[in-house]
Amino acid sequence: MIEQDDLETDKPPYAPEDSGVEDHTMSSLPRFIKVGLIAFIATCLLVFAAGSMIAPNMEPGFPITERAQPQTDGSFRITLDAGNRGQWVPVNLSRGTTHEAETDADLLVQRYVFRAPGGAADLGDVLLDKATLAADLSWTFDKQVDGQLQNPAISGWYDYSYMTHLLKSKNHTYAVQLRSGEGFATFNVVSYYCEPEGTSCVTIDYRLNPDSAK
């Protein structure tokens, strides 16, 4: 004899019993939250993919030079191998050389960090050949910042891209007092990259005593 219970076929034979525990999976979330999460994940994937496709040589690279090279506009250009984390590269701007004692250096560079022992000033977004010193200019001297000796007036010379991981110059012009006591020089950072490929090769353009009135 067939019992009534044997005729109940609407329930799957292996369906779990209701445990009374609330479902916390994504399927239980409201629709607008699920859409937002999917959109966020898709955006992150697109940003990552775009960043990976951008070539790391977007910034210009220059060959390392032993001495400053005169440019057609009257400025000088020098590219420093500043990649040693434990060593400062001293630059004497008057002589245009890097093989100097630190006591004779107008600039010292270590990777992307600058020191200016004679004092420095940020003249802002102005062309190198147009830069002048204000009568009330205040010089900034080297000091410890975040555990490293550097010149705060120059420390913000670059913008950093989280997509390409490249440092790009803001093209500000900076002034430094020369250690020789013969006035000052103005300079800007052209690039942080080497030719053919590499980093921590700081290229600067500079002029000596551009403002004869100062």
- The DSSP annotation for 50-78 comes to HHHHS-TT-S-EE---SB-EE-TTS-EEE
Q: Give yes or no: residues 46 and 85 share one domain.
A: no
| pLDDT, tens digit, 9 for 90 and up, residues 92-133 | 999 999 988 899 999 999 999 999 999 999 999 999 999 999
Q: Give yes or no: residues 68 and 163 share one domain.
A: yes
Angstrom distances, CA of residue 202 to CA of 40, 109, 195: 38, 8, 11
Q: Give yes or no: residues 97 and 198 share one domain.
A: yes
Q: Give yes or no: residues 32 and 130 share one domain.
A: no
Q: Give yes or no: residues 41 and 79 share one domain.
A: no
pLDDT of 6 > 80? The answer is: no
185 part of a folded domain: yes
pLDDT of 13 > 80? The answer is: no
Cα–Cα distance for residue pair 1/96, rounded to 1 Å: 109
82 part of a folded domain: yes
Q: Give yes or no: residues 46 and 140 share one domain.
A: no
pLDDT value at position 164?
83
pLDDT value at position 44?
64
Q: Give yes or no: residues 150 and 177 share one domain.
A: yes
Q: Give yes or no: residues 36 and 132 share one domain.
A: no
The DSSP secondary-structure symbol of 114 reads: E
Range in 7-16, 36-45, 103-112 the model is least confident about:
7-16
pLDDT tier at 59, thresholds 50, 70, 90: confident
Q: Give yes or no: residues 45 and 87 share one domain.
A: no
Provide the domain limits for residue 28. Answer: 23-53
pLDDT of 55 > 50? The answer is: no
Q: Between 22 and 148, where is the model more confident?
A: 148
Q: Give yes or no: residues 92 and 49 share one domain.
A: no
214 part of a folded domain: no
Q: Give yes or no: residues 46 and 66 share one domain.
A: no
> What domain count does the chain have?
2
pLDDT of 73 > 80? The answer is: yes
Q: Between 170 and 10, where is the model more confident?
A: 170
Say how many CA atoms lie within 13 Å of 23 toward its Cβ.
Answer: 7
Tokens of residue 100, six digits: 């100097």
Within 8 A by CB and 6+ apart from 167, the residues are: 59, 112, 158, 159, 160, 192
Range in 15-19, 81-85, 175-179 the model is least confident about:
15-19
pLDDT of 212 > 50? The answer is: no
Q: Which whole number is the average pLDDT over 147-169?
A: 93
